[in-house]
Amino acid sequence: MRLGLVASLAWQDYRNDAWLSVCSVLALVAVIAPLLVLFGLKFGLVSSLTERLQTDPATREIIPLGGGRFSSAFIEQLGQRSDVAFALPRTRQIAATAQVGALALEMLPTASGDPLLAGLPVPRGLDQIVLSHTAAEKLAARPGDWLETSFARQVAGRFEAQRTRLQVLAVLPLEAFARDGLFADLKLLEAAEDYRDGRAVPALGWEGEAVGVSEQRVYPAFRLYAQNLTDVEPLRVFFAGQNLLVSTQAQTIAQVQSLSRNLSIVFWVICGLALAGAFAAIFAGALAAVVRKRRELSVLRLLGFSTGGLLLFVVVQALYSAGFAAVLSAGLYGLAEAALNTLFVQVPGEHASHLLARHYGLALAAVMGVSAVAAACGGWRVARIQASEGIRDV
């Protein structure tokens, strides 16, 4: 039996029963549209929270606690791990300060790949820095300005200081770093530490004790960022195995992941109940359609339609309803999505409710599949219809 002929006859009959067809479509819309809104809220909320955590480098930062002793080779090995996005040694915090006028600035080392400096120029050498937003405001500094910077030390009871000029390459956005600080090449921080330890810094012309050629520098800490949110906890476990206590945002990340799992459970429970109700409604509708159209179906049997053809007739009509319901539900969801995002979203780029194209495709496939199976189960009574019933009605 040709599919086109069956589909054409089913469509003509579907149009003739317009009111019943509209009712079946609306019954499905009542199930599909709320599910789309529920899943849109789940996906939009979790996606926005996850993206917010992923784009905030502080969430992926791993901070060593207590004084450590790390060689440059060890930190370089950390940076080569696939789950590490950035790793750089840090000098002693007490020595990593710079005085610009009356403002004391925290100094942090930086290099290519620094998540905090994404899209900004990276300082090179001993005379370039990137200022934090708050520091730039207090100093009224702009990119291109030169700042007179001093470094003080106490040697044998005497206070000494050296000055150098640093050029501001860029200013960090406030959300990237909210303290008064500057980001510079690691060599500048090492120079400041050496000077405060009483050592000479030949590159800047600062006098002091000569540094041994074979002396290996040891760092008390490092700056390290995980590649992804899922890498934070494994890195914490790795450092715990090294007997190194670190501070991470693993608990915050775990809370978002737990929220995603819990919302998924709630959604699938509600989805299962709703689909079971839709299946029952379509099944009952197919049974009623076979009884109501027994005369028409018997005539089709008389004209040579097989049991499979008659069953296909019933299934195709159910698919018509499912298709119209899916399109109408998608339209209603689009309106609901726009309203929800307008009401609840305050950060550009985030979504309170959001669905991707693949979600619409999966929803359409699920609706069509459930409708086809339910109609096939409910319409199986066409096998009992005999051609003789059609002859009596001719």
Residue 15: how many other CB atoms lie within 10 Å: 10
- Helices vs. strands in the chain: H and E counts, helices first: 12, 12
247, 63 Cβ separation under 8 angstroms = yes
Closest CA to 367 of 264, 267, 271, 265: 271
Evaluated on CA atoms 78, 80, 86, 90, the torsion sign reads: positive
Q: What is the pTM of this model?
A: 0.71
- Is pLDDT of 308 > 70? no
- Is pLDDT of 65 > 50? yes
Closest CA to 281 of 367, 375, 364: 375
Query: What mean pLDDT do residues 136-155 have?
Result: 90
- Is pLDDT of 384 > 80? no
Question: The tokens of 144 are what?
Answer: 């291109």
DSSP secondary structure letters along 190-226: HHHHHHHTTB-BGGGTB--BPPPTTPPPEESEEEEEE
Residue 9: how many other CB atoms lie within 10 Å: 18
Quickly state the pLDDT bin for 394 (edges 50, 70, 90).
very low
Structural domain boundaries in the chain: 3-54+254-392, 66-244
- Is pLDDT of 388 > 60? no
Closest CA to 191 of 126, 131, 108, 127: 126
- Is pLDDT of 123 > 90? yes
- pLDDT, greater one: 317 or 73: 73
Phi/psi for 240 (5° steps) reads: -65, -35
pLDDT for res 22: 85
Query: What mean pLDDT do residues 106-132 have?
Result: 92
Quickly state the pLDDT bin for 382 (edges 50, 70, 90).
low
pLDDT for res 392: 54
pLDDT for res 104: 92
352, 45 Cβ separation under 8 angstroms = yes
- Is pLDDT of 77 > 90? yes
pLDDT for res 95: 87
Calpha distance 280→135 (Å, rounded): 66
Calpha distance 319→368 (Å, rounded): 6
**pLDDT tens digit string along 225-283?**
999 888 999 999 999 888 889 998 888 888 888 888 888 888 888 888 888 888 888 88
Residue 84: how many other CB atoms lie within 10 Å: 19
What percent of the chain stands above pLDDT 70? 87
Quickly state the pLDDT bin for 50 (edges 50, 70, 90).
confident
Quickly state the pLDDT bin for 137 (edges 50, 70, 90).
very high
Q: How far is CA 217 from CA 3, 40, 91, 220, in A?
A: 80, 54, 10, 10
- Is pLDDT of 143 > 90? yes
Query: What mean pLDDT do residues 119-143 have?
Result: 92
- Is pLDDT of 316 > 50? yes
- Is pLDDT of 171 > 90? yes
Kindly provide the residue ranges of all beta strands, DSSP E only, lying in 212-363, ordered along the sequence: 218-219, 221-226, 246-247
**pLDDT tens digit string along 320-377?**
888 898 999 999 999 988 888 888 776 776 777 888 888 888 888 888 888 888 877 8
